[in-house]
Structure 1
Amino acid sequence: MSSIVFSQVLNELAKDSFPLLEPSISNSDYVSLDLSKDNKALQNVDVSSSEKLAIYINNHIQSQHGKVAYGGYLETRAIYNRSAYFKTSNLETERNIHLGLDLWIAAETPIYTPFDATVHSFKNNTNFGDYGPTIILKHHLKDVSFYTLYGHLSLESLQNVEVGQEFQKGEQLATLGDASVNGDYPPHLHFQIIKDLQNYVGDYPGVCSKQDLAFYKHNCPNPNLILKLKG
């Protein structure tokens, strides 16, 4: 299926999707956040520190009178330089381009299932700067199969989940973790759409290199096709 056709399918599915966060949080409560390496406001922020980055993000949310910050799809970020898991000496192969959409909000925030789904896999990805607790759901809707990934969850989110478990649209899937378990980031959800999971289990690249961008852009379309955030 071409990227254009798949995007059209996602647009149609979005009309009947359930919000990832509490429905009481209105669209206007979401404020866009730029964490790219080109954001000059970050030049005086130690983005390698989850505590200092959290202060920056929370101040941004408050200054915009919002409740949630969102953004990051295909954003080139300097934050990954702190981790050997992403950084290389070759700029072409260095993984610093973000493939999901982040929702920055407090730890323990409930996360809901946007569509009917089954659990494909789950895992605690414990590399420094990685996802931490992660769940991948499989969806089969309108004769199309695809996956959604939920990263930076709480440890409790993995305690009772099982492969093949069914979740109904709008059912609580998980809660968010804090920096002690989520790869050392301010609390947030990494949400990613994946067409072909490529035999990964409980994990899938959420950050890619410049040389691999064309493939991942095709395989991981913009999550905002579903979320429709404009705050």
Structure 2
Amino acid sequence: MYNEIEKLFQAQKDIKVISTEIDYSDYIALDLSVANVELSNHNLETAKDYEKFIQNYLDKNKAKIAFGGYLETRNLYKRSTVFKNTNSDERNIHIGLDLWINDSASIYAALDGTIHSFQNNNALGDYGPTVILAHEIDGIKFHTLYGHLSEVSLIGKKVGDVVKKGEQIASLGLPPINGDYAPHLHFQIIIDMEGKTGDYPGVCSEKTLPFYKSNCPDPNILLKIN
């Protein structure tokens, strides 16, 4: 199934999920992993700290959107109990793609589909308002998740509503509504929702990585940013 999905995504063209007026040439890769020693030179504890850090990074590189994060091991989640409790392994491996822009940007459907589910995941460090779309192309079913949205993005939606590729489905949320992060879109591909609605893990543990890597392919295969 994974190989079929990969071939399907490679065949798709002209897909943008945020700020369609911004060309991919104005994007810059951003590494927020534990391997980036530069992060230790900055005091990054709050959403405001990250906003300043990311804006400085964008300005320095003359870019408008920073992207990255798929399969990154991050320290970003240590402040939240969502990602660790006494009965489970720490979840710190990111399995979506983040698109960082300090703006209430417009969010668009990656492909034709229907609204699978939506809800406000309002715990500290969670997605905040979230929309999940269901897609089927050439008999292959999968889902796209859009996290860290504005509260108004959930108004007026109904499960089963049809959406078209490139249709605006939401706007980006600001902290603290968006889970209390610097403004960014968490975009994730999910093959099997495992019966979940309105939410799906966007961060996993090392133990569960093999499953999630298979169930959540690299979104950049679809977006083709670089």
Same fold (TM over 0.5): yes
Q: Return the alpha-carbon distance in structure 1 between the equivalents of residues 129 and 164 of structure 2.
A: 21
CA contact (8 A) 1:95 1:207 kept: yes
User: Which aligned segments of 4 or more residues in structure 1 are displaced greater than 6 angstroms?
Assistant: none
Unaligned runs of 5+ in 2: none
Work out whether 1:80 is the aligned partner of 2:83.
Answer: no
Residue 225 of structure 2 corresponds to which residue in structure 1? Answer: 229
1:88 deviation in Å? 4.4
State the distance in 2 between where 1:84 and 1:77 align. 15
Is the aligned partner of 1:44 residue 2:41? yes
Q: Is the 8 A contact 2:32 2:74 kept in 1?
A: yes
The Cα of 1:72 is off from its aligned counterpart by: 0.1
Q: 1:25 aligned to 2:28?
A: no
Provide TM-score, normalisation by structure 1. Answer: 0.94
Q: Which residue pairs with 2:164 in the alignment?
A: 168
Matched, 1:146 2:160: no
- The answer as to whether partners of 1:123 and 1:134 remain within 8 angstroms in 2 is yes
In the TM superposition, 1:112-123 aligns within 5 A as 112-123=108-119
RMSD of equivalent CA atoms: 1.4
Instruction: Tell me, in whole angstroms, the C-alpha distance in 1 between the residues paired with 2:110 and 2:185.
Output: 14
The alignment of Structure 1 onto Structure 2 pairs a total of residues equal to 226
Q: Find out whether 1:5 has 2:4 as its counterpart.
A: yes
Instruction: Tell whether the 8 Å contact from 1:197 to 1:204 is kept in structure 2 after alignment.
Output: yes
Instruction: Check conservation: 2:15, 2:222, Cα contact below 8 A.
Output: no
Provide the secondary structure at the position in 2 that maps to 1:120: strand
- Percent identity over the alignment is 49
Deviation readout 1:59-94 (Å, 9 max, x if unpaired) = 11111110000000000000111111113469x811
Aligned to 2:221, what secondary structure does the other structure show? Answer: helix
Post-superposition Cα deviations, 1:89-132, rounded to whole Å, max 9, x if no partner, equal 69x81100001000001332001112111000001001110000
Range 48-57 or range 146-155, more displaced: 48-57
Comparing 215-224 and 109-118, the one that deviates more: 109-118
Matches within 5 A, 1:96-115: 96-115=92-111
Instruction: Report if the CA contact (8 A) 1:18-1:112 is conserved.
Output: no
In structure 1, what is the equivalent of residue 179 of structure 2?
Answer: 183
Q: Do the aligned residues in 2 keep the contact of 1:61 with 1:68 (CA within 8 Å)?
A: yes
Residue of structure 2 equivalent to 1:61: 58
Q: Distance in 2 between matches of 1:211 and 1:48?
A: 27
The structural deviation recorded for 1:198 is 0.2
Which TM-score applies when normalising by structure 2?
0.96
2: distance between equivalents of 1:24 and 1:136?
A: 23
Supply the distance in 2 between the matched residues of 1:132 and 1:111 (Cα, whole angstroms).
15
| Alignment counterpart, residue 202 of structure 1, candidates 195, 198, 202 | 198
Please give the secondary structure, in 1, of the residue aligned with 2:207.
Answer: helix
